[in-house]
Structure 1
Amino acid sequence: MQLYNTLSAEERAELIDQAGKQRLTLSFYAYAKIENPKEFRNNLFIEWNQLDALGRTYVAHEGINAQLSVPAEKIEAFRQTLEAYDFMKGIRLNVAVEQDDHSFLKLTIKVRDKIVADGLNDETFDVTNIGVHLKAKEFNEILEDPNTIVVDFRNHYESEIGHFKNAITPDVETFRESLPIINEQLKDHKDDKKLVMYCTGGIRCEKASAYFKHQGFKNVYQLEGGIINYANQIKEEGLGSKFIGKNFVFDHRLGERITDDIVSQCHQCGKPCDNHTNCENEGCHLLFIQCDECKAVMENCCSVECQEIIHMPLDEQVKLRRGIVNGNKIFRKGKSDKLKFKHSGELGDTSLAIAEKPKAIRQKIKIKKVLIGQAQHYFTKASVAQFLIENNELKNGDKILISGPSTGNEILILENLFVNGKANDNATIDDKVTFQVPFRVRLSDKLYKIIE
C-alpha cells in the first residue's frame, strides 16, 4: 500500500510536461467531526494518488483543508472521492483564477491538531455559529455601506500585494495574531458596525466569524469562498472588482492577478512590483518581493551577504546552517531589516503601476530530456561549473540543458569534459564533472541531457 511519493519534484514536472494535458489548481475545506484522521488521511492518499492528484492537505479531528492540482480530465472522479463522505457532498471547489500545470509537484496529506492554526480553544465557544455568507455582488454592496468595517484576515505579506479597498490589514505574520488585535481595535463597534471579513479561500473567516460573534459582535459577515471565489464570480457576472491587485496563493505560483493594478514595491529598489520570491540562500529562504532587474543583479537573493553564501562550496553552506534552529526564526515571511521598501499594516489603495500583459506563469520545456545531476559548485574566475552525476551517464558531444529559477534554461553542447578532476570522455553515476559554461551556475541548478 503506497502512502508516499515515489518521484522527485523534477521527475514529476517532466512527466507533466510530457503528458501535455491540462491540470486544474483548486482548493476546498470542510469543518466536520472526523473520528480517525489518520485512517481518513491514508484512504485519501491512496485514492488521490491513483488520480495523479498533487498538492498540500491538512486533516484533523475538526475537518479538512486542501490545496490541490488535479488533471482536468479526472475532476469528476476526484469529486466522487470527496462525495463518498457525507460531510463533503456538494462541497464547493474553489478553482484558481490563473492555472499552472506545475502549481504543485507532490502529494502531501498531513494529520494536524487543527486544519488552520488559529490558537483558539474550540470548547469555549460555538464554532458552528458563523457569520452571514456573502456572494460577490452582496459583498460589493455591503462595502458601500458607511457602517461597514472590512477586515483582511490574511498575513502582511499576503495583503501587501493586493487587498479590498479601505480594508483593515493587520501587520501580522500568523492568523492567530490577528484575532486579539482586531478584537481590541474594534471593541467599541460591536453593536453599531457591520464587521465584514475576508481571506484567501474562506476557511480562516469560517472560524473567525464564530469567534467574533462569541466576543459580542452583533453583525458579522464573511466573503463566501474568499478572494478566489470572489474573483471567479465577478468575472462570470461582469461585476466591478472592489479588490485591487494580486491574490497571494500558497503554491509555486505565489500569486494570481485579480486586477492589473500593482499596489506594492520591489523590497530592494522600490520599483512597482508584486512578484514574490524566496531567497536563493537555503539558510535564509526569506520570502520577499523582487523585480526582474533586482532578481538578475542579486541572483534571487535578499542581500549581498546571502549572495556571497550561494557561491560558497555546498559543504561550507551546510556548515553555516548547522546548529541553527529551523522554523519561523529563519524562514521569515517578508520581515527583515534588509528589505528597505517593505510595507505592512495600514496599506493604501493607490495603484503604483499597471501590470504588463501576463506571460505564462511557468515556461514549459517542450523537449525530451533526462535528469542527470545537481550543481555542486561554480568557479567564478574560470567560468567552470561542477555537477554531481546522480542518474544515467554523460559524455563529450552530448547536448545538455542547465536549468534553474535564476539561470533559466541554458542549452549547450558538452565539450572538454573533466571527470573527477581529469580529462575524460565519459562520466557515470557518482562522478563529479566539470566543464566551462558561458553563464553563471547556481547550486539550485539541475543538469539534464537532451534526447534527440
Structure 2
Amino acid sequence: MQLYNTLSAEERARLIDEAGKERITLSFYAYAKIENPQQFRDDLFLAWNPLEALGRIYVAHEGINAQMSVPADQFEAFRNTLEQYDFMRGIRLNVAREQDDHSFLKLTIKVRHKIVADGLDDATFDVTNKGIHLKANEFNQLLEDPNTIVVDFRNHYESEVGHFKGAITPDVDTFRESLPIINDQLKDYKESKNLLMYCTGGIRCEKASAYFKHQGFKNVYQLEGGVIEYARQVKAENLESKFIGKNFVFDNRLGERITDDIISQCHQCGKPCDTHTNCANDGCHLLFIQCDECATKMDHCCSTECQEIIHMPLVEQINLRKGQSNSNKIFKKGKSEALKFKHSGALSDVSLAKAKPENDLTIRQKIATKKVLVGNGEHYYSKSQVALFLLSNKEIALGDSLLISGPTTGEVEFTLEKMLVNGTENSTAQAGDKITIELPFKIRKSDKLFKITKK
C-alpha cells in the first residue's frame, strides 16, 4: 500500500508535460475536531494519489490546511473525496487566479500539532468562535469607516510585495509572532474600534479573529476567503481593489498579481521589483526579491559569499553543507544584512512602477533549465567513488553540462570533464554505451541522467 510520494519533482514535471492535461491550482482549509489525524492523513493520500492530485497539506487534531494542484478532468472526483467528510461538505475551494501546471510537483501530507502554529497553550481558547466574515464589497465598505483598523496577518515577505492600503503590517517571520504584537498594540481599542483582518486564503485570520474575540475585542471581522477570494470577487463584480500589488502564494509561482502596481524594490539594487526567488546556493536558499539585472550579475545568489560558493567544485559545496539541517535555521525568509533594500514593518502604499507581463515570470521560470533524458543509473562503486550509467538516448561529450536527478539524490548539476566509455577513456558516448564517471556522492538505480541543452 503506497502512502507516500515516490517520484522526484523532476520526474513528476516530465509526466505532467507528457500528459498534456490542464491542472487547477487551489487551496482550502477547515477547522474541525479530528480524532485520529494520522489515519485521516493516510485516507486522504489513498484517495488523492490515484487522481494525480499534488500539493502540500497539513492535518492536525484541529483540522486541515491544503494548497494543491489537481487535473482539471479529475476536479469533480477530487471534490467528491472531500464530500465524504461532514466538516468538508460544501467547502469553499479557493481557485488560483493564475494557473501553472507545475505549481506543485509532489503530494505531501503531513501530520502536525496544529494546522496553523499559534504558540498558544490555552485550553479555554475556542478556535471555532470566529469573527464575522465579509465579502469583498462589504470589506471595502468597512475599510472606508474611520473607526476601522485593518491588520495584515501575513509575514513580512508577503506584505512587502502587496497589502491593503492603510493596513498594519507586522514585521514578523511567523503568524504566532503577530498575535501578541497586535494584541498589545491595539489593547486600548477593544470596544471602540472595528478590527478588520485578512490573510492569503483565510485560514490565519480565521484563527486570529477567534483569538482576538477571546482577548475581549468586540467588533472583529475577517475577509472571507482571504486575498485570493477577494481578487476573484473584485474582478467578477467590477469592484475597486483596495489591495495594491501582488499576493504572495506558497507554491512554485511565489505570487499572483492583483494590481499592476509594483510597491517593493529589488533587495540588491533598489530597482522597482516584486519578483521573489530563492538563493541559488543550495546551502542558503534565502527567499528574497531580485530583478533580472541583479539575477544575471549575481548568478541568482543573494550575496557575493553565496556567489563564490556556487562556483566551487561540487565536492567542496557538499562538504560545506555537511552537518547542516535543511530547516528554517538554514532557509531564512528574506532577512539578511546583504539585502540593502529590504523593507518590512510599516510599509508604503505608493506605487513605484507598473508591471509588465514579463514581470510576472518568476526567476525560476526565467531560468528554467531545458534538458533531455540520456540515461539511467546502474551502480555506484563506493571505494573508488565511481558511478556507472547506461545511456539510452542521445550522444554526450566532454564539456557537456549534465544533471543527475533522483528521489533520494535530489538534483546535482555538473560539467563532464572525464569519463570511461565501455571501460575505455573516451571523449564521446552514444546510446547503448555504459559510462563511468567519478562522483563524490552515491547514485542509485532510480537516478536519471540528463543532458542540459539550455540555461
TM-score range, shorter chain: 0.7 to 0.9
The aligned counterpart of 2:304 is: 304
Of stretches 336-345 and 119-128 in structure 1, the one that deviates more from structure 2 is: 119-128
TM-score, normalization: structure 1? 0.86
CA separation in 2, counterparts of 1:234 and 1:59? 31
Within 5 Å, give how 1:43-442 maps onto structure 2: 43-324=43-324, 326-358=326-358, 362=365, 369-370=372-373, 372=375, 392-393=391-392, 396=395, 418-420=418-420, 422-426=425-429, 431-432=436-437
- Offset of 1:425 from its aligned partner? 3.2
Aligned residue pair count: 416
The structure-2 alpha-carbon separation of the partners of 1:397 and 1:197, relative to structure 1 and needing over 3 Å to count, comes to: closer
Can you give the 5+ residue segments of structure 2 that lack an aligned partner in the other structure? 378-385, 405-415, 440-447
TM-score, normalization: structure 2? 0.85
- Offset of 1:447 from its aligned partner? 2.9
CA RMSD of aligned residues (A): 2.8
The structure-2 alpha-carbon separation of the partners of 1:371 and 1:338, relative to structure 1 and needing over 3 Å to count, comes to: farther
Alignment check: 8 A CA contact 1:373 1:448 kept: no
Answer yes or no: is 1:447 the counterpart of 2:447.
Answer: no
The aligned counterpart of 2:444 is: none
Alignment check: 8 A CA contact 2:371 2:451 kept: no
Can you give the 5+ residue segments of structure 1 that lack an aligned partner in the other structure? 375-386, 405-415, 435-444
Which residue identity is paired with 1:425? T
- Offset of 1:423 from its aligned partner? 2.3
CA separation in 2, counterparts of 1:335 and 1:373? 40
Match of 2:167, SS state, is coil
CA separation in 1, counterparts of 2:388 and 2:353? 45
C-alpha distance after superposition, 1:401-435 (max 9, x if no partner) = 9789xxxxxxxxxxx9842593243275673299x
The structure-2 alpha-carbon separation of the partners of 1:322 and 1:403, relative to structure 1 and needing over 3 Å to count, comes to: closer
Aligned sequence identity (%): 69
Alignment check: 8 A CA contact 1:371 1:449 kept: no
CA separation in 2, counterparts of 1:446 and 1:301? 26
The aligned counterpart of 2:8 is: 8
- Offset of 1:15 from its aligned partner? 1.0
Alignment check: 8 A CA contact 1:58 1:115 kept: yes
CA separation in 1, counterparts of 2:349 and 2:37? 43
The structure-2 alpha-carbon separation of the partners of 1:176 and 1:184, relative to structure 1 and needing over 3 Å to count, comes to: same
The aligned counterpart of 1:38 is: 38
Of stretches 335-344 and 311-320 in structure 1, the one that deviates more from structure 2 is: 311-320
- Offset of 1:6 from its aligned partner? 2.1
CA separation in 2, counterparts of 1:338 and 1:373? 40
CA separation in 2, counterparts of 1:347 and 1:390? 53
Alignment check: 8 A CA contact 2:396 2:429 kept: no
Which residue identity is paired with 2:436? D
- Offset of 1:364 from its aligned partner? 12
